[in-house]
Every structure is written in structure tokens, then in C-alpha cells.
Amino acid sequence: MKVLRWINYILILAFLSSCGAGETGGSSGLGTLFATATPLPTAHANVTPAPDAQTEVTKYLQALQTDDYAGMYDMLSQSSRAAITLEDFSKRYNDALNTMSAASIEYSINSSLLSPYAAEVAYSITYKTVLAGDIQRNIVVHLVNESGGWKIQWEDGLILPELVGGNLLAMEYSIPARGDIYDRDGNPIVSQAEAFAFGIQTDQIDLELINTLVTDLGRLCGFDPEYIRDQIDAAGPGWYLPMCEGTRDEAQRLLSISPGGLVYTKYESRYYFKTGLAPQAVGYTQLISPTQLDTYRRLGYNGSEKVGQTGIENWAEDYLAGQHGGILRVVSPDGQPISILGQSSRQPADSVYLTIDQNMQYYAQQAIEYFRGAIVVMEVDTGRIVAMASAPDFDPNLFDPQNDNNRLGGLDQLIMSNANQPLYNRATQGQYPLGSAFKTITTAAALESGLYLKDTTYDCQYDFTELPDRILHDWTWQHCQDAVAAGDFCDDSSTTPSGLLTLQEGLMRSCNPYFWHIGLDLFNFDRKTDIAKMARAFGLGSKTGIEQVEESSGQITDPLSDIDAVNQAIGQGDMLVTPLQVARFMAAIANGGTMYRPQIIEKIQPVDGDPKLTFRPEATGTLPLRTENLDIIREALLMVTQNPRGTARFNLRGLQFDVAGKTGTAESGNGKSHAWFAGYTLNAADTGKPDLAIAVIVENIGEGSEYAVPIFKAMVQTYYYGSPQSVPWYGPIGEPPYTPTPPGPAGGVFAP
């Protein structure tokens, strides 16, 4: 009897030991599971081995990590699929994860028990949530053997045990105000504000005060008063004409006078000052779209917020949105609170300070307002972006549905109705041939090859005849043809050949035959890729590395034929650059050869404490030029602006500051040429202000000296005087051009 009693004890202990081996702690009721004896399979039974059940649960949880609800649903048993549709199943999981703000999910399989027809697998799951912290639970999933494979018996408790019985999750959100965006000096560019949408009701105009109406509205909105008059005349009586938006401070005079015909509505908004400064770079906010909703809910948003869609607003979303807070509760099916699963406090948003100067930015936009093109202004010794304008631009305030001027549909209407792509940032994404401004790089390649010196001469005539199968013409030839067609004579420096030129003078005069000769010469001397390599070393054909706004890389290819070589030498062919790249290499020439990463963020400033991020100049490379060759190029660029025969001299007359640079006229392949000017200031020692590099492009307009140079001049004057000081030949800055063709100065030069 004693022997039998000991055998029974041993068997009982063995059984209890085998049951306790899989037990884990937690709140999922695993003690009940393991207190129930599961029959052991016999050797001859047709049983799926235990690892297969664990594998099926692992696949299920892996699918949960990637929101593959359809894949999870396919793993359910027939009875489970009969009880819930795929749509409801997916919604149950997705709603729970969104409400939790579950940023990620971790799991581990703990143990399993099985019989020929059923299995139970225990696992731990941790929801890593943004607002409620980590939520960890131990859960048991039941499986049934259907057609030789394990299928999951689903219930609400597989999400969280607390959800059994139809309970739900509810988050009480606490949302901070969105952060502001400032210029480098703390002037507001974007902030939360009380705004007014201004317009004109044409049948309410007081004719005695119409001058006040159009003048003050023009001042507020940046419109020419005559433009507003034209709009009124074209509309006739009974029409509402949307104008612009403004804060109470900005529109104080207009609101106090309130001339007849002025109408306005007040609304609370994320307000973009001066109808949007650098709108393509700053970007805009909109309500979270249905396609974005799940992503933002998992980040702790409740879905009603406006979020950054493009530009700085998008790049700095984590800073500008602040840290949302929330209390995660379990509630009954009728909404009564049951328990709190986790909570967090909101934290205030940070402010973003840009490197942009508000005044420079405003006048850059004014200067390019009535054209298509771009302006980039950069500090030569740091890479700071001082201004970045792209035209046409847009008013981000119009995207706010509360804005009464948003009667045309805001963003969607803007995209559909405007073929000029105002949302497109031409400064960083526009890709263009550089035209004659590229001759700066060709000069660098010529000098570094050792085949050319600064005084190497070439006879620059109308025709280039060095190619075996064609004759190419200098720009002076085309000017002469235009003069003859107009009944004039070819008797000034813009219509007669430039004659014998040194290399520096060739750049000064932008002599096409000289640079065709260089391109062909290097190609034939088995230096076929010298110019392309130099262009890449100047940062062309690759992104600059600016991180806060989208940019394109451009394109520089190696020439495959003599035609490719001569085209590339004057900035034509298949080469493409961005205005930002051009400003960057001009800055490098100005500062002695250092290439800086362009940056537009000055600092990220929290409400209290030190900045989270502060601008630091970042050198990314050096121009591959010997010091003497860089000096030769800088002298030549100064000749372009100061020598009486320089291509930029005429339209820079009267400028009281030293500048250097290069004009460019690039064939666009579609309509008129693109007008370029890229240069830099040389006045730091005298003014105490950092020198700037400036790149200007005006699309499909004509020659660089005619259009880009006056804009460059306006930017230099704005930098030193606060605003443009002279009127370009085509009309005042910020007003529609009124002169269809440039004047032909005696002895002056309008050239590529």
C-alpha cells in the first residue's frame, strides 16, 4: 500500500508540475486556463503539433502590427467569421488602436496547450501609445482545428480584456495651441490670430470714398489701386470681389474709415501675414484628410486639428503641434466610464524661427509678382536663406473654410484652375537650363585644365565655324538681325561682334563663340568630362541638402558628342539646375570657395528654456579651384557689372554698392528664353552687413540683362535701404510691367 501511495503522489506531482510550467502573471485569467486539465494526445491521434498553433497566433499578431485586418480575418474560425463581418472586424481593431494612439505594438508568445481539436495559446501584448503610455496585457486566444489547420476563435477580449461584453475605449483629448512661425528677428510670419476677410460689394461703393477704398485696400493687400479699380469696372454692380485678409492691427485705418463698398467678416484662424510670406517654403495647414486620419490618430491627434501639409508647416509638425495630452478610459456600451487605462498632460508647442528676413522676403515677392520665376537670397558665409520667392505664389489664408473669401473652393480650386502651378516652389524644385550664367563654370574648367590662362585670347565674331556640319551664331548676330528688322543699324556694342577678347573679357561679354570653342577644345583634347565634373563640383546635378523644403536635383550629364560639348559649355543642352543651386555656388565663389548647406531654420524655441535646435553653418565641400583661378573668375564677374561693356552694367547703373555676377539667357524650348542673373554683394567691410548671393530667374521673358538684372538690383537696394530705390525700365516693382520691349541704349548692352 505504501508503494502504491508513493506512486500516486509521484503521478500527481508530475501532473501539477506539467500544468504549472506554462503559467504566467497578468490580468487575463490564465489561472483558470491552467487549472483545467487538457487531455494529452495519444500516439495514434491525427493531431497538429503545438508549434503550429503558436505559429498561427504569431502570424495573427504580425498582421496586427501592420494593420493587415483582412489577413487577420482570414485566420478566424468559421463561427467567428459568421458572427462579425470583415468591415466590422477591421473597424473594431482600427477604432481601438486609433483611440489608444497606439504608435506600435510588441508581443511575445508565452505558452500553449492543445488537444486534437482545440488549442489555447497565451501571449503578452504591449500597446506603445502616445497619450496613455504602455498598455500591457496577458491574453489567451482559443483556436479550433478546421480541416487540419488552426483557426482563431475571435472575441473583443483579444484586443483588450477590458473590452469583453461590448465595452469601448474613449480618449479625452487635451490639445495645445499650434506654435507660431517667425522671421529671424521675431516678426510674425504665421500665428493664431483674429483675422478679417476683406472684400468689395460693388453695388455698395460710395463714389466719394472710392479713392480711399482702393488705396487703403491696395496697401493692405499689396495690390495696385488701379488693379482694384479695373476689377470693380469689370465686375459691374451687384458682385462681391474677394480681396485679402488682415489682422485688426494691420487693417486698423481701413476698419476705422470703413468706406462704402468695403465688406469684411471676422474669424479665428491660423493667419499668414501679408497674404503669405514665402508660402511655398512656409507651406500651409489643412484639416486632417480621411486618408491621413489613421496616421494622425496613432500620433495622438483627435482628427479635428489642422496639420502641416507642405513646407515648414509639414517639416516642423512635431514642434508646431506641441505634445497632445489625453485620458484613455474604458466605457460601457452606453458610454458610462468604467476605468482609466492611462493618461498624459499636454505640453505647449514650440515656435519656429526662420532665417528669412521678413522685409527682404516681402520685396522679393513684390519684385517677381507679375512674372513666373524665382529669387533666392543667401548669406555667402553661412548658407542662411534670407529670402526665397517663387511666382506665381498663393495666399494660404484662402485655404481656411472659415475665411469668407474662400468662396471659390480654396486649395482645390487653386490647383484645378491655375496652370502656372502656384504651389510649386520654383526656387528649389524648378529645373532650368542655366544659359550663359553657366559660363562661369566653363571658365573654371578651362583654367583648371591648364589649356587656358586669364589672358588667352579669342576673336569673337558673329559666327562659330569650328563644327564640321553647322554654323552657330553669337548673341550679337541675333541682336543685329532684330535691329535690321526694326529699321535700325548694327552700330553699337549690343549688335556688333565683340572682337578680340581675353578669357576674362569673354566672360564679361558673354561671348558664345569663345565658350563653344572651349567646350569643343576640351572635348577634342580628351577632356570630355571636365566641364561636367566641374559643374558637379559646383553642386549642380544633385540636391543641396536643404532639409526643410522639397527640392529637385537637376541634371548634369557627360557630353557624348561635339554638339553636346558646345551646348553644355554655354549652359544649354540637357543640363538642368535649380535657382537654389545657383545661389549656393555663387555664394561659394564670393566667400573664397566654401560650399555651405542652405538652411532656412534659425532655431526651434520652446516656451521656456533653451532652443531645441539652433542654426549652425555647415560646410559641405570646397570648389576645386586653385586660389589664383578663383580670383580670376571673381575679377571677371566684377567686370560683368562694372565694365562699360559688361552685360549687366547698363541696368545696374546708379547702384551705389559693389556687386559681381553673371547674366544668363537660356533657351527654354517653349516660348521665349528664361532670363537669369546670379551674383553677390561685396560690401561687408563697409556696411557691416553680411554679403549676400542672389539668384534670379524669370521664365519665358527674354534676356537676363533686361529682366533678371533689374530684379537683382532691387534686392540689393532693399537689403541696404529697406526697399527698392529705383524703377526698372519695365515699370515699378510690384506693379504689372507696362513697357513691352526694353529701350535700346546707345552704347549700352542688353545681352545673355
Residue 415: predicted pLDDT? 62
Among residues 533, 562, 534, the alpha carbon closest in space to that of 464 is found at 562
607, amino acid identity: V
Place of cell 506512486: 7
- The burial class, CB within 10 Å (0-12 / 13-18 / 19+), for 126 is middle
Q: How high is the pLDDT of residue 492?
A: 87
More confident residue, 7 or 334: 334
Q: Rounded to an integer, what distance in angstroms lies between the CA atom of residue 380 and that of residue 441?
A: 18
pLDDT band at 493 (very low <50, low <70, confident <90, very high): confident
**Residues 405, 416: Cα–Cα separation, whole Å:** 17
**Contact status, residue 182 vs residue 603, Cβ threshold 8 Å:** no
Please, what is the angle between helix 530-537 and helix 562-569, to 10°? 40
Find cell 556687386 and name the residue: 659
Domains of the chain: 2-164 (3.10.450.100), 184-276 (3.90.1310.10), 282-353 (no CATH), 435-642 (3.40.710.10)
H runs (alpha helix) in 486-527: 503-509, 512-524
Residue 734 region by backbone torsions, left for phi larger than 0, else alpha for psi between -120 and 50, else beta? left
C-alpha to C-alpha distances, 503 to 190, 532, 655, 660, nearest whole angstrom: 49, 19, 26, 17
Give first-to-last CA distance, the chain, whole Å. 115
The confidence score (pLDDT) of residue 211 equals: 92
pLDDT digits over 203-236, tens only? 999 988 999 999 999 889 888 888 899 999 998 8
- Which has more pLDDT, 17 or 65? 65
Distance of alpha carbon 293 from alpha carbon 276, whole angstroms: 27
Asked if residues 682 and 544 have their Cβ atoms less than 8 Å apart, the reply is: no
The answer to whether residue 282 scores a pLDDT higher than 90 is yes
For the segment 17-42, the average pLDDT, to the nearest whole number, is: 38
DSSP symbols for 279-303? HHHH--EEEPPTTTHHHHHHTT--S
How many whole angstroms from its chain centre is CA 398?
19
CA-based nearest residue to 715, from 629, 645, 664, 655: 655
The pLDDT of residue 227: 87
Answer whether residue 498 shows pLDDT above 60.
yes
In angstroms, rounded to a whole number, what is the distance separating the alpha carbons of residues 327 and 344?
A: 7
**Residue 594, Cβ neighbours under 10 Å: how many?**
17
Average pLDDT over residues 560-578: 97
DSSP structural state of residue 190: E
Q: What is the pLDDT of residue 224?
A: 84
As a whole number, mean pLDDT of residues 255-263 equals: 91
Q: Which residues pair with 240 in a beta bridge?
A: 201
- What is the rounded distance in angstroms from the CA atom of residue 389 to the CA atom of residue 549? 13
Q: What is the mean pLDDT of residues 319-346?
A: 96
Least confidently predicted of 238-242, 550-554, 623-627: 238-242
Read off the C-alpha cell for 425.
516652389
Please check the confidence at residue 408 and state whether its pLDDT lies above 60.
no
Q: Which residue has the higher pLDDT, 47 or 350?
A: 350
Burial of residue 563 (CB within 10 Å: 0-12, 13-18, 19+) is middle
Longest dimension (CA), the chain: 135
Q: What is the mean pLDDT of residues 407-419?
A: 60
| Residue 160: band (very low, low, confident or very high) from pLDDT cuts 50, 70, 90 | very high
Taking only the tens place, the pLDDT of each residue in 290-302 is 999 999 999 999 9
What percent of the chain is modeled with pLDDT above 70? 90
- In this prediction, residue 23 carries a pLDDT of 37
pLDDT at 16 exceeding the cut of 60: no
What's the pLDDT tens digit per position in 433-469? 999 999 999 999 999 999 999 999 999 999 999 999 9
- State pLDDT tens for residues 614-651: 999 999 999 999 999 999 999 999 999 999 999 999 99
- 184: closest CA among 373, 354, 415, 381? 354
Place of cell 509639414: 314
Q: How confident is the model at residue 751 (pLDDT cuts 50, 70, 90)?
A: low
